[in-house]
């Protein structure tokens, strides 16, 4: 989930890493800004519509949550969201937010919000293209993602057939490599360390139990993964949100000061005591942008691989679920973590200085402990367990799709077995180098993906405009769904 973290900080050292990472951040955020402008700020101008047709429709529209037939290889809209959120909401929502505050000050949170705002439309665009260019494999399962809109979308443009095919293969390779690291071993390692610290459970024991549980789920394929995540994700999110909100309620008198500190730190404004809030505006922008990008994965092209398996035929509908995914991950979960830490008294709200020696997960645990006592550390350890394990389940699907693109549908079973075995490896080994390499591969996924999104931005605009004209303006025009059917016919003939 935190794909560019080591790409920016660890590739060729911190200095060269930042030089490499700054253009990438500009590309990521710039893509979001472009798609926001081209779609006329869809996330704001049609806010009520996408809320109503996503989270707002869960209890009103049975089509959103209804399960497909047992023999049907599709999953429901809600299952696709939960599986995507399972991979997106992870340790970065806890440890990563704390790191942003420590390194960038409270102002980093403002820039995290800004990046998330534009990232909504990047994720929207990925999902629109994912549904539009998806195909069925020999098992009649939907397959979609950057590799398909690179090959079939970018590749259909004059003179781009070869580059589209090459970028699709590169994306798939990066995806598979990243899935073993940031999507598997690093998450399991975080769980093992936290469970040992909080409950003195040996790492080997944690690894064996998680390997068995994950094996029972992952080997069953997408439908079983989706069946688990649609129950796990709402449960873990609600429990964590209740805990974070409890901290905010107890420290309610600090919320005004917290918000003021975030705004002042974002723009380097003078604090009451004469100091500068946080570490200065440069660090606030840098760390806020990182946290926003790395947390919700908008631009990496990861979650679109599971969104494309939804039973939706309308690309824009799944695009709206992409908007909500970013909103839930960053605006809700990351923000509540930030407010819990900042309101706990562990950060000087006038200067932005962190008053605790703890960092990362331990800082959040200490913040929760100010309200829950010793149970605070245990609460965060359990949250890490759910968040990180759900990330493993989601990423197993991402890596599987990349592997399928490279080696065919029948080969996926070998990937799943290997993926499960690596869970035990992640729990029992010191894999710092592996983390750095896998983070880099995770980040590299974004390069071909963003090339595809930018090259096909006109297609996204046409599909979105067609949807708005039909659904919101009542125009009697033909929906832009024909590409799905025509491309499907072509590939069915190939199979």
Rounded Cα distance between 261 and 280, Å, is 12
- Confidence (pLDDT) at 135: 86
Closest CA to 442 of 181, 187, 189: 181
Q: Which domains does the chain have, with CATH numbers?
A: 5-48+81-494 (1.10.4160)
Positions in the chain whose pLDDT score sits under 50: 1-20, 270-279, 482, 486-495
The pLDDT assigned to 226 comes to 78
> Residue 2: what pLDDT?
44
Tokens of 39: 């779609």
Contacts of 8 (CB under 8 A, 6+ apart): 17, 18, 20, 21, 22, 24, 25, 290, 443
Ranges of H-type helices in 39-134? 42-45, 47-52, 62-65, 77-88, 95-104, 107-132
- Among 110, 70, 79, 55, CA closest to 339: 110
Helix (H) or strand (E) holding 136: strand 135-136
Query: How far is CA 363 from each of CA 72, 277, 294, 355, 435, rounded to the nearest angstrom?
Result: 45, 19, 19, 10, 22
pTM of the model: 0.85
Neighbours of 38 (CB within 10 A): 17
Q: If DSSP codes are grouped into helix, strand and coil, which group holds residue 135?
A: strand
**Residues with Cβ within 8 Å of residue 82, at least 6 apart in sequence:** 226, 229, 230, 232, 233, 234
| DSSP helix/strand/coil, 474 | coil
């Amino acid at each position: 989930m935190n794909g560019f973290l080591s790409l920016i900080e660890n590739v060729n050292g911190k200095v060269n890493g930042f030089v490499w990472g700054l253009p990438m951040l500009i590309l990521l955020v710039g893509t979001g800004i472009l798609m926001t402008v081209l779609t006329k700020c869809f996330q704001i101008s049609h806010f009520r519509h996408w809320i109503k047709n996503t989270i707002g429709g869960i209890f009103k529209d049975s089509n959103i949550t209804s399960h497909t037939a047992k023999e049907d290889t599709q999953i429901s809209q809600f299952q696709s969201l939960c599986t995507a959120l399972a991979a997106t909401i992870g340790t970065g929502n806890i440890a990563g937010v704390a790191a942003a505050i420590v390194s960038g000050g409270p102002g980093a949170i403002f820039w995290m919000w800004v990046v998330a705002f534009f990232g909504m439309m990047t994720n929207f665009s990925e999902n629109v293209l994912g549904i539009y260019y998806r195909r069925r494999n020999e098992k009649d399962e939907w397959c979609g993602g950057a590799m398909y809109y690179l090959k079939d979308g970018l590749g259909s443009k004059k003179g781009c057939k070869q580059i589209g095919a090459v970028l699709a293969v590169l994306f798939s390779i990066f995806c598979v490599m990243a899935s073993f690291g940031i999507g598997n071993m690093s998450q399991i390692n975080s769980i093992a360390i936290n469970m040992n610290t909080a409950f003195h459970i040996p790492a080997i024991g944690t690894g064996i139990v998680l390997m068995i549980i994950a094996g029972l789920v992952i080997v069953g394929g997408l439908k079983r993964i989706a069946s688990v995540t649609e129950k796990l994700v709402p449960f873990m999110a609600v429990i964590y949100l209740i805990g974070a909100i409890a901290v905010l309620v107890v420290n309610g008198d600090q919320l005004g000061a917290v918000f003021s500190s975030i705004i002042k730190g974002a723009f380097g404004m003078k604090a009451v005591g004469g100091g500068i809030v946080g570490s200065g505006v440069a660090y606030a922008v840098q760390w806020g942008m990182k946290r926003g990008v790395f947390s919700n994965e908008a631009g990496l092209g990861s979650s679109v691989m599971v969104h494309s398996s939804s039973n939706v035929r309308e690309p824009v509908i799944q695009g709206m679920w992409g908007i909500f995914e970013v909103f839930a991950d960053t605006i809700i979960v990351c923000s509540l973590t930030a407010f819990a830490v900042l309101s706990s008294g562990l950060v000087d709200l006038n200067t932005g200085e962190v008053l605790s020696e703890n960092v990362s997960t331990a800082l959040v645990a200490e913040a929760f402990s100010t309200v829950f006592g010793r149970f605070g550390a245990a609460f965060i350890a359990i949250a890490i367990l759910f968040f990180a394990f759900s990330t493993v389940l989601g990423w197993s699907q991402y890596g599987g799709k990349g592997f399928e693109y490279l080696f065919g549908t029948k080969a996926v079973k070998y990937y799943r077995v290997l993926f499960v075995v690596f869970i035990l490896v992640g729990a029992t080994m010191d894999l710092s180098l592996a983390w750095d390499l896998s983070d880099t591969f995770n980040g590299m996924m974004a390069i071909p993906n963003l090339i595809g999104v930018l090259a096909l931005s006109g297609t996204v605009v046409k599909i979105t405009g067609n949807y708005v004209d039909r659904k919101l303006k009542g125009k009697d025009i033909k929906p832009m769904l024909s590409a799905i059917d025509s491309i499907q016919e072509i590939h069915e003939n190939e199979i």
